[in-house]
Amino acid sequence: MKKELITLGLLILFPVLFAQQVTIPIATENSTLLLETDRDMRLRTVYFGKTLRDPIEYALVSEGYQYFDSNAGIYNAAYTPAGTWNISEPAIQVVHGDGNASLDLKYLSHTQEVLDENTTITRIVLGDELYPLRVSLHYKTWKHENVIEQWAEIEHEESLPVLLKKFASSNLYFTNKEFYLITFHNSWAKEMQPAETKLSRGIRSVDSKLGTRAMLLQAPHFILSFDQPAAENQGSVILGQLAWSGNFKLDFEVDSYDNLRLIAGINPYASEYLLPKNEIFRTPSLIYAISHHGTGEASRGLHSWARKYRVLDGQGERLTLLNNWEATYFGFDEQKIAALFKDAKELGVDLFLLDDGWFGNKYPRNNDRAGLGDWQENVKKLPNGIGYLVSEAEKEGVKFGIWIEPEMVNPKSELYENHIDWVVRQPDRPEKYFRNQLVLDLSNPEVQDFVFGVVDELFTENPKLAFIKWDCNAPIFNAYSAYLDRNDIPQSHLYIDYVRGLYKVLERVRAKYPTVPMMLCSGGGGRGDYEILKYFTEFWPSDDTEPIERIFMQWDYSYFFPAIVTDNHVTNWGKQPLKFRVDVASMGKLGFDIVAGDLTAEEMEFCKQAVGNYHSFKEVIWHGDLYRLVNPHENDFSALMFVEANKSRAIMFNYLVNNRYMMTATEEPIRLDGLDARKKYHIKEINLFPGTRSRINADKVYSGDFLMKVGVNPAISLRRTSVILEITEAME
């Protein structure tokens, strides 16, 4: 079928025999990015807006624009080169083998290949007339989801290597006149704090220089809205992300026409890359979803794309779990862990997850100051090894998973003693630690083998191991690689080769273990992007599990990620009642990180019932469409709902997020969304704490039309701070 479609597909090649104008529409269902050559065959962006009904008319678009060559440079170049007559912020800057730093890119050819009914890839080759250097711009589009993935490939045939000083993934141009940008800023336990700015002249940059997990301080995701601040159900918006798990840079520049240039890619900071002849330098991708009806529709497009095309097993199942981290920290032994399997069973979750602290013998991992890197079971804590725990868990009827942090090392470890040259550190400067640890040098293939070996050994020795939590807590300080030095590779390759090394390891892991679920964790800051999520089934958004904070954080993550990839655990953070904590954690992939034995009988009864409910509605959360209804940033309460594809069932979550006494109750109904106006629905409150009664009458029947125009009042108040409603189609 696919082959047929490919052969049916449009394959166009335009060699530049005659310098005639070339117009290239890159279209999704709702939007088109239009590129066109000028009279000198330089490629420009001439339009980014709603898709035209008649594609023939794209050739007429540029007639209406009269930009004169500006002394400030080429603003709307599709990929702005540096060193010739452009003097605006470049997308690419190189030094040729002979030391010359000039580059001018002109259109050479392009192809558009239809991969299937939904997916098209456009490749455009640009080249320099003086030097044999080419840049291929790639645009992959998913029509129905309105998602575009964009990257560049740089190669040359010069006899000496070319130094790449800047190498953006994408260079976009928007001619609307007002631009609003939301970016997300963090620190540990405060991830994804949104900041909205109206862009004005000049460049606003968001970047990371952390080396490893990209998101501790600023996130690579953004919301760009046109002509008005971002709104949930109206206006043109782009939800974007640089899919790269290392240093990134996003530059938003309002030029002298009041148009917006967006240049996004790997952060060029300390990252000059020496490119040998005939080797292709592929940039990471900028991925974005577009909507002309606000952030809600854009998120649903992005979520559906992520589940179908990107995240590992995005359309599959996930395992609910009990994690022992906050229950025991490092203080456990075999008996204590085995006893927790019963709790997992009683709660009704699928898996028990053993966290940090199970390894290291010469330097036992009894706190975070020692043992990281020595991945042998600690014989005192686990005399019978992991295998024993796996089979004990199985006897209880739960699966077993394990925590690792294989990219890192404590200086107090055998790994550090034996392989100090595997550690990223400046040999002649004092070491600087983050959580008492350092980063291993993944640019080194031996280190890649080691990290792969950690995972491989665990699976080889314990074939029934069902889950991995892959942590990553330190950024790169004192960036220096002994391996690069030994091999005469410039040190400025380290940041890029680290991430590529990580991806190589993950490729190998997935080639051998394609399906086992893995959680991507990075306690300090979160680590989640659409490149690394090709290898992971889910990620840990933050150590902050205080449920009110989580309502905000999960709301903000939900712009970019579907609920199936965000892991939410019930913990003892904060003062909210257990029901509130469980309800909030149920809005993604549910887990527990509590001492279940400390729960009262009533609390345990509630948890069992809530886990049972979760199992009954998880399909809707994982694979349904998300509708954000009441924004916690703007209101005293918050509401959102997930709707099954056939609109027969939905789950609505409602919370009080302001405990001031003035906020007494939800006074008005909340309008629902995403239902079928013609269908009739029952509304039933679920996850009631034992002994409490619902204020919602489950016998009543409402039309979808009514629920979406008038709504329902979940009766949130200081006494009912968390309410889950199940909306089910009423059978006549």
For the CB of residue 36, give the shortest distance to ligand DGJ in the complex, in Å.
Answer: 48
Task: Give me the sign of the Cα torsion angle 207, 77, 560, 151.
Answer: negative
Residues 6+ apart with CB under 8 A from 706: none
- Nearer to ligand DGJ by Cβ, of 376 and 648: the residue is 376
- Nearer to ligand DGJ by Cβ, of 314 and 526: the residue is 526
Report the residue closest to ligand DGJ, judged by CB: 523
- Residue 471 makes contact with ligand DGJ by CB under 6 A: yes
Q: What is the rounded CA–CA span in Å between residue 480 and residue 490?
A: 10
Q: What is the rounded CA–CA span in Å between residue 531 and residue 435?
A: 26
- Residue 525 makes contact with ligand DGJ by CB under 6 A: no
Taking residues 189 to 228 in sequence order and writing x for each that binds ligand DGJ by CB under 6 A, - otherwise, the string is ----------------------------------------
For the CB of residue 531, give the shortest distance to ligand DGJ in the complex, in Å.
Answer: 21
For the CB of residue 472, give the shortest distance to ligand DGJ in the complex, in Å.
Answer: 9
Residues 6+ apart with CB under 8 A from 567: 519, 538, 539, 540, 541, 588, 589, 591
Among 521, 533, 563, 707, binds ligand DGJ (CB under 6 A): 521
- Nearer to ligand DGJ by Cβ, of 191 and 253: the residue is 191
Residues 6+ apart with CB under 8 A from 629: 639, 640, 641, 652, 670, 671, 672, 673
Helix (H) and strand (E) counts in the chain? 13, 35
- What the block records as the tokens of 653 is 């979550």
- Nearer to ligand DGJ by Cβ, of 288 and 403: the residue is 403
Please give the helix or strand (H or E) that residue 183 lies within, else none: strand 179-185
At 594 the three-state DSSP class reads: coil
| Number of residues in contact with ligand DGJ under rule CB under 6 A | 10
For the CB of residue 76, give the shortest distance to ligand DGJ in the complex, in Å.
Answer: 44
Taking residues 299 to 338 in sequence order and writing x for each that binds ligand DGJ by CB under 6 A, - otherwise, the string is --------------------------x-------------
For the CB of residue 188, give the shortest distance to ligand DGJ in the complex, in Å.
Answer: 9
Minimal CA–CA distance to 125: which of 139, 113, 136?
Answer: 136
Q: In DSSP terms, which residues pair with 281 in a beta bridge? A: 154
DSSP letter assigned to residue 309: I
For the CB of residue 328, give the shortest distance to ligand DGJ in the complex, in Å.
Answer: 11
Minimal CA–CA distance to 239: which of 301, 310, 204, 290?
Answer: 290
- Nearer to ligand DGJ by Cβ, of 355 and 546: the residue is 355
CA atoms within 13 A on the CB side of 164: 30
- Nearer to ligand DGJ by Cβ, of 480 and 536: the residue is 536
For the CB of residue 465, give the shortest distance to ligand DGJ in the complex, in Å.
Answer: 17
- Nearer to ligand DGJ by Cβ, of 86 and 473: the residue is 473
Please give the helix or strand (H or E) that residue 508 lies within, else none: helix 494-512
- Nearer to ligand DGJ by Cβ, of 543 and 625: the residue is 543
DSSP symbols for 598-659: GS-HHHHHHHHHHHHHHHHHHHHHHHSEEEEEE-TTTSSEEEEEEE-TTSSEEEEEEEE---
- Residue 356 makes contact with ligand DGJ by CB under 6 A: yes
At 427 the three-state DSSP class reads: coil
Residues 273 to 302 in contact with ligand DGJ, rule: CB under 6 A: none
- Nearer to ligand DGJ by Cβ, of 471 and 625: the residue is 471
For the CB of residue 469, give the shortest distance to ligand DGJ in the complex, in Å.
Answer: 6
For the CB of residue 331, give the shortest distance to ligand DGJ in the complex, in Å.
Answer: 13
For the CB of residue 569, give the shortest distance to ligand DGJ in the complex, in Å.
Answer: 8
The backbone torsions φ and ψ at residue 666, rounded to the nearest 5 degrees and listed phi first, read -70, 115
Cβ proximity of 114 and 9 under 8 Å:
yes
The backbone torsions φ and ψ at residue 375, rounded to the nearest 5 degrees and listed phi first, read -90, 45
CA–CA distances in Å: residue 544 to residues 182, 190, 299 = 22, 7, 24
Residues 77 to 116 in contact with ligand DGJ, rule: CB under 6 A: none
Radius of gyration of the chain (CA): 27
For the CB of residue 357, give the shortest distance to ligand DGJ in the complex, in Å.
Answer: 8
- Residue 591 makes contact with ligand DGJ by CB under 6 A: no
Q: What is the rounded CA–CA span in Å between residue 93 and residue 382?
A: 55
Taking residues 389 to 418 in sequence order and writing x for each that binds ligand DGJ by CB under 6 A, - otherwise, the string is --------------x---------------
Please give the helix or strand (H or E) that residue 395 lies within, else none: helix 385-396
Residues 526 to 545 in contact with ligand DGJ, rule: CB under 6 A: 540, 543
Taking residues 481 to 510 in sequence order and writing x for each that binds ligand DGJ by CB under 6 A, - otherwise, the string is ------------------------------
Q: What is the rounded CA–CA span in Å between residue 475 and residue 439?
A: 7
Among 89, 355, 531, 556, binds ligand DGJ (CB under 6 A): 355
- What the block records as the tokens of 658 is 């302001």
- Residue 423 makes contact with ligand DGJ by CB under 6 A: no
For the CB of residue 576, give the shortest distance to ligand DGJ in the complex, in Å.
Answer: 19
- Nearer to ligand DGJ by Cβ, of 81 and 523: the residue is 523
Among 127, 240, 401, 523, binds ligand DGJ (CB under 6 A): 523
For the CB of residue 436, give the shortest distance to ligand DGJ in the complex, in Å.
Answer: 11
Q: What is the rounded CA–CA span in Å between residue 85 and residue 279?
A: 27
The total of other beta-carbon atoms located within 10 Å of residue 22's CB is: 17
- Nearer to ligand DGJ by Cβ, of 181 and 519: the residue is 519
Q: What is the rounded CA–CA span in Å between residue 19 and residue 41?
A: 7
Residues 147 to 166 in contact with ligand DGJ, rule: CB under 6 A: none
- Nearer to ligand DGJ by Cβ, of 473 and 638: the residue is 473
Please give the helix or strand (H or E) that residue 578 lies within, else none: helix 578-585
Q: What is the rounded CA–CA span in Å between residue 159 and residue 716?
A: 71
Cβ proximity of 371 and 412 under 8 Å:
yes
- Nearer to ligand DGJ by Cβ, of 521 and 626: the residue is 521
- Nearer to ligand DGJ by Cβ, of 294 and 411: the residue is 411
For the CB of residue 394, give the shortest distance to ligand DGJ in the complex, in Å.
Answer: 23
For the CB of residue 560, give the shortest distance to ligand DGJ in the complex, in Å.
Answer: 20
Residues 654 to 683 in contact with ligand DGJ, rule: CB under 6 A: none
Minimal CA–CA distance to 468: which of 523, 373, 399, 530?
Answer: 399
- Nearer to ligand DGJ by Cβ, of 191 and 543: the residue is 543
∠ CA 605-609-610, nearest 5°, is 115
- Nearer to ligand DGJ by Cβ, of 330 and 388: the residue is 330
For the CB of residue 543, give the shortest distance to ligand DGJ in the complex, in Å.
Answer: 5
Summarize as ranges the residues that interact with ligand DGJ (CB under 6 A).
Answer: 325, 355-356, 403, 471, 473, 521, 523, 540, 543
